[in-house]
Amino acid sequence: MILLPDILNISIKELKNHAKEIFYLAVVAVVVSIAIATYVTPYILAQYSFTVGMLIALFTMLMATDAITVVSIMSKFRLPERLKIYAESESLFNDVTALIIFYFIALPLISGDELSLLSINLTLFKVLILSTIIGFGVAYIGFLSIKILKNPFDQFIIIYLVVNISFLVAEHFHIAGILSIVVSALTFKYLVQKEIKGETFRRTKIGDVKDKESVMELIKSVPAITKREFREYKKEAIFIGIFANAIVFVIIANIIELDILFKYYKEILIVFALTTVIRFISVSSLVLVMRLPFRWAKTLTLSGTKGALAIIMAHSIPDNFIYKDMFEAIVIGNVLISTFLYTFLLMLHIYFNKKAYAQDMQVDKQSSKNNIKQYTKNVIEALKKDASTQAYSRAFIEDIITDELARASRYNLDLSLLILKLSTKEKALNQEVLSAVGRVIKEQIRTTDYFGKLTDDEYVIVTLNTSLGEAVTLAEKISKEFASTEMIHIALEYNFGVTQADETDTTETIIEKLNEALSRSEQSGIHAIEIEV
């Protein structure tokens, strides 16, 4: 329940684009940080007889960050998209790394088992392969099942059954259940999005099935869920994840023993300071290598809040472990300190550097233009454009609107849209005039914006990172260019509608808002610009 919303809302494309950095933060940095902390701690806490296995267990628990908290904090601020991707992806995948190390290396060492380098490698290989296979298999079965069940509640339950069954099956075979959860959720999301974007599925009736068609082929031909349904399910998953996380912290409040926390307050503070310094060093290395603004290192450091998984691991330590009370106190203490102190410092840091981060957003957007251009080029090659205006097809532009609505909501970005309606006294719009319209619009919009065709005489412009006022200004510029272009001014009449997306908007509601603005614009007279909020 805690992990599912983060997995469903993370972009597979973003994971691919930043795979190296995420792998470093979620795997390499975790392993190296544990190794450094394990080496340094005996010198700092020399009064305790810690073994290597004990220290690996302690610091592995403290490497798992709280994905829910990180996502919640990041969504409240305007930060560079890449920075948010780093923080949110790390918080999700370092949980997997920490849990695998804890349960398959640290706990056996605490229990006195002998582990060689070869046995560790074989164990990790088996865990990774089998957990991945189980995740793939359960996700595919769940994907087929959701096609049969058309009740929204049943479909929503199936999504949770997918991750729960993958976890239980993996745990039954004593492998990484948490990895199976991540794999199954990502696979399920990929299958659903692939089918939605393909738009090649058909609704087949049982009576239309030919003898040669199998039941499996019939099931495959039935659409799973719509874009809107999947988006709503992700929203519901977020609410449930927040609720589950809150329940965990309520439980924490009930199990906290203040006497033990005060007893080990020195150890708690020492470990907190040590892990903070090590985390700062590890993320700073990435920032320096990638030549990113150094303030990003501070944000990434302070986004390392600990949470529920750390406490769950702490309670998995055997009762006969000599330092069980101390380790639980250190973990709970670090969870509390990081939750309040990190969050407070992070908010202060972002507040006092908001102008710098605003500049970073522009730089980040410019640096990614080549990737955006290449991505757009590859997609457009498979799509038809309007021959006259070179506007994207309705199917493509609606996909863009859906994706950008999700991105704007996730990263707290501005997103505004314009609708343009052309009219003429002639029976049909002149192709040369339409070509001129397309040229004017292409000259006025940015390379990161999108220009699409909704109907024969209606067009839409999707403007990224643009406020409502800026969108109105763009409409005024286009209208002015139309007026100064003799061919357009003589042949056409035109009206504009403008709106800005909010967190609750869907593709359907955005288009409705645009149509309402356009309707008022037509009532106001030709060349009018109206807004709908």
Question: Where along the chain do its domains lie?
Answer: 4-362, 370-532
Decide if 379 contacts 418 (C-beta within 8 A): no
List the structure tokens of 281. Answer: 């060093």
What's the confidence (pLDDT) of residue 357?
A: 85
What is d(CA 437, CA 441) in angstroms, rounded to the nearest whole number? 6
What's the confidence (pLDDT) of residue 190?
A: 83
**Considering only CA atoms, which of 67, 10, 1, 57 is closest in space to residue 306?**
67
Would you give the end-to-end CA distance of the chain in angstroms? 35
What's the confidence (pLDDT) of residue 368?
A: 52
Residue ranges of the alpha helices (H) in 45-103? 52-61, 67-74, 81-101
**Residue range 452-463, pLDDT digits in tens:** 998 888 999 999
What's the confidence (pLDDT) of residue 194?
A: 77
What is d(CA 381, CA 391) in angstroms, rounded to the nearest whole number? 13
What number of residues does the chain have? Answer: 533
- Listed as ranges, residues in the chain with pLDDT below 50 are 199-213, 215, 218-219, 369-370, 372, 375, 377, 381-382
Q: How far is CA 319 from CA 48, 327, 505, in A?
A: 19, 12, 51
Q: Do domains 4-362 and 370-532 have the same CATH topology?
A: no
Q: Render 482-511 in DSSP notation, one character per residue.
A: HHH-HHHHHH-EEEEEEEE--TT--HHHHH
What's the confidence (pLDDT) of residue 427?
A: 59
Chain Cα centroid distance, residue 308: 20
What's the confidence (pLDDT) of residue 75?
A: 67
Residue with tokens 């990435």: 286
Which CATH topology does 370-532 take? Answer: Alpha-Beta Plaits (3.30.70)
Helix axes 227-255, 394-411, angle to 10 degrees: 10
Q: How far is CA 388 from CA 188, 376, 382, 427, in A?
A: 40, 19, 18, 17
What's the confidence (pLDDT) of residue 384?
A: 58
Burial (CB < 10 A; 0-12, 13-18, 19+), residue 470, is middle
**With respect to CATH, is domain 4-362 assigned 2.60.120.560?**
no
